[in-house]
Every structure is written in C-alpha cells, then in structure tokens.
Amino acid sequence: MAKGDEAEVYRALQGVVDEELGSDIVSLGLVGPVERGLLKSKVTIYYVGGAPEIQDELRERAQAALSAVGSFELKLQALDPEGQVALRERLLDPESVSAREERKPVFSRPSSKTRVLGISSGKGGVGKSSVSANLAVGLAIRGFDVAVLDADVYGFSIPKMLGVERFPRVVDDLIIPPMAHGIKVMSLGFFVEEDTPVIWRGPMLHKTIEQFLVDVYWGSLDYLVVDMPPGTGDITLSLQEFLPRSEVFVVSTPQEAATRVAQRSALAARKLKLPVRGVIENMAGFTADDGTNYPIFGEGGGQVLSSLLEVPVLGSVPLTMGLRRGGDQGSPVVVAAPDDPASKAIFGVVDAVVAMGPARRYRADLKVQAK
Ligand SMILES: Nc1ncnc2c1ncn2[C@@H]1O[C@H](COP(=O)(O)OP(=O)(O)OP(=O)(O)O)[C@@H](O)[C@H]1O
Ligand SMILES: [Mg+2]
C-alpha cells in the first residue's frame, strides 16, 4: 500500500457513520478487504438500498475520511442478500428477534423501556400532526432517542412536516426508517404515491400497522410518538392491540365544540384501557404585533377537558406563523425558531411528559403474599 496499512483504513472509516443504522460502516461490517495495488489500493464499501444521491454522499464521506490515510480507489457495491441477512442479525438484539418471531412489537414487552405516546384528537385539523412532530423533535433536542410513527393513514403529513426527503431502505426483511432532525420517521406516506387517495379496509390497515411496528428497525428508543388518526376507528383498535402500553395525549383547540369531540376520543381510549395522561391545547389565541391577543378558537377548552378527564393540561400552544411555516417548510418550529411562543409551549409539554414518567400499570402477575 502506498501509505497507511489496513488497520489505518478501518480506523479512518470508523468516522463514517450511517445514522439510520445507528453505527459506523466498519462496525456494521460494510467495509470489505483492502486490496493492495502498485499505485493505488482499492477499498470496497457495501451499501444497502437508497437513492443514487445517498451512494454519492457515502462515497464522498468515505473518500474524505480516507484522504487522511492515503490515496485509494473506492468501490461501492450493493450488499448482497447474504450480507443483508448478516447485517440484519447484527442490527437486532435478541429481544427484538424474539418479538419479531412472535409478530409483536418489541415495545409491547414488559421489559421495554420505550414510552409510546399516542397523540389523539376527536376532530381533524386541530394540529395533532404539528404537535406530534414538534413533540418528537423536542424530545430529541432534550437528548432522548425518539421515533415518530405517522399512523394517520388517511392523512399522513409527518414526512412533509419534518422535511424527510429519503425513503425507507430495506435490509433483508427489515425496514430502515429515514431520519430527520435526529428522529426516525415512519409513515404510510412513503409507500403510496402522492395525491393518491388511500382506500383501505380495516384488516389491511391492521396488517399495515403491524408491519410498521414489527418489521421496522426502531433501534432502542426512549419515546415512540404516534400520530393517531382522528376519531375512534379501526386504527385505534389496532394500536391498542399492538401497543397496549401506550399513553394517550389529547389535542384540542380551546373551542367548546372541539372539547366535546376530544372528550369522546379520550373516553374511547379509556374504554380500551389506555391511560389518558394529559391534554394539549393547540391554536390557543393569536398575539398580534401590537400585543393584542385574539382568542380565535375560543378560550378555556383545555381546562374544561382537563377537569372532565381529570388529567392535567400539559401546555397551551398559541397560533403562530412560526409553527405553520415550520410545518410547511419541513423544519419544525422547535428547531427553526426555538424562541417562538409556540416552541416554548411545546418545550413545556416535552418537559411535562418527561417529568410525569411512564404510566403506572396494574400487573396481575404481581401479588403480595399474605402470611
Ligand atoms: N399552533 C398553530 N399555529 C399556527 N398554525 C397551526 C398551529 N397548529 C396547527 N397549525 C396549522 O394548522 C394546519 C392543521 O394542522 P395539523 O396538520 O397539524 O392538524 P391535524 O390535526 O394533524 O390535521 P389532520 O386531521 O388533517 O391530520 C396545518 O397547516 C398547521 O400548520
Ligand atoms: Mg394530521
């Protein structure tokens, strides 16, 4: 080799991290042997799926890392099926492997440390997806490992709100979700053509949700934020079945009519034995430049809902241009404008969710033995 030995090559390539796979390409086994040449040595790097620009980016990053060691000819090669099986095995811990065998999400296991936060609302258009996206990114900003699942299969909007430009990749039969703003993102939006109406039957939806939960590589998460479809339909039932440990958070505008519908969705969750943990009021007033506050969607609904459900209001997110713009531009307001009043309210929700800790559950298997 002109300069640098094999160990140095590997050391340099350890700096090339595949964020979605959660490790560097050497540890992932994606670097082949170094072939010595008279003038230049050749390094093979394996890649999994992805658009051509992802390969270009990988090549550039690998080349930059290697430039410190010497001059190399870089060969990018698609990982073959056998390699994919090996990679999948490397990615999944034993707990995930056995959960997959049972076709159950790893989060449903009592040993799972992942808190599943179901963001629900009775009505559509109250800002459920905006709250889900910002809450998830806010949790990641606080240092947690977070993913968001867009389970609103009828109106998926999360990928756009988070500016996700990549599609999921597939390693053997494991779906690797793309990442944006430090969080993993999974949505039906990746699997259907834009502007195509989605017409699903209940069992098909059930299967899709199962696939999203079981076949996706979630890694080790602190929080899974689920943007639930409005209402109390099939998906809520599926989620309850797959994720019996989820906690429900209800989003509502301060309007009286909205509160009533939101209450219904909360009661439906309770009927399914899912703990309702709090209310998040959204679109709560707009403050004009002169400081005047206009309660466009009414006032006080969050408090009313909180008393009815006997859970706290975790935050009241005002109507701001920043929040709307952030969603439209794929750069959530908590990232684009952390000082925006909407961001501050969302960080308040983030901190309240963290502080309250997971819901306590009754465990039938834990019994006190009387002597
Ligand atoms: N606090 C806010 N300030 C300004 N705009 C907001 C706010 N909350 C939501 N919006 C805007 O309102 C619209 C609806 O919000 P969003 O899509 O989050 O609601 P949703 O409840 O998920 O709706 P759907 O039922 O269609 O899924 C979006 O354009 C969003 O940018
Ligand atoms: Mg939505």
Same domain, 135 and 23: no
Instruction: Output the CA 321–ligand 1 centroid distance in Å.
Output: 11
What residue numbers bound the domain in which 319 lies? 106-356
Inside any domain, residue 331: yes
Using the 3D structure, point to which of 89, 121, 145 is the last residue of a domain: 89
- The answer to whether the CB of 174 falls within 8 A of the CB of 91 is yes
Same domain, 79 and 179: no
Using the 3D structure, point to which of 89, 118, 149 is the last residue of a domain: 89
CB 125 less than 6 A from any atom of ligand 1: yes
CB 283 less than 6 A from any atom of ligand 1: yes
CB 176 less than 6 A from any atom of ligand 1: no
Inside any domain, residue 212: yes
Helix/strand/coil percent split, the chain, to 5: 40, 20, 40
Same domain, 129 and 77: no
User: In this structure, is the dihedral angle defined by the CA atoms of residues 63, 331, 19 and 157, taken in order, positive or negative?
Assistant: negative
Same domain, 49 and 185: no
- Which pLDDT does position 2 carry in this prediction? 46
Same domain, 244 and 317: yes
Q: What is the CATH number of the domain that holds 331?
A: 3.40.50.300
Q: Which residues, in sequence order, are CB contacts of 210 under 8 Å at separation 6+?
A: 103, 238, 242
Instruction: Output the CA 228–ligand 2 centroid distance in Å.
Output: 8
Q: Average pLDDT per run of 10 along the chain, which is 371 residues long?
A: 72 95 96 86 90 88 92 92 96 94 90 94 91 98 97 86 93 95 93 69 80 93 92 75 91 89 86 92 94 92 93 97 97 98 98 94 60 56
Dmax over CA atoms of the chain, in Å, equals 81
Inside any domain, residue 99: no
- The answer to whether the CB of 3 falls within 8 A of the CB of 9 is no
- Which pLDDT does position 204 carry in this prediction? 79
CB 157 less than 6 A from any atom of ligand 1: yes
Same domain, 85 and 131: no
Same domain, 39 and 112: no
Same domain, 126 and 54: no
Same domain, 184 and 328: yes
Same domain, 114 and 73: no
Inside any domain, residue 97: no
User: What are φ and ψ of residue 15, in 5° steps?
Assistant: -80, -5
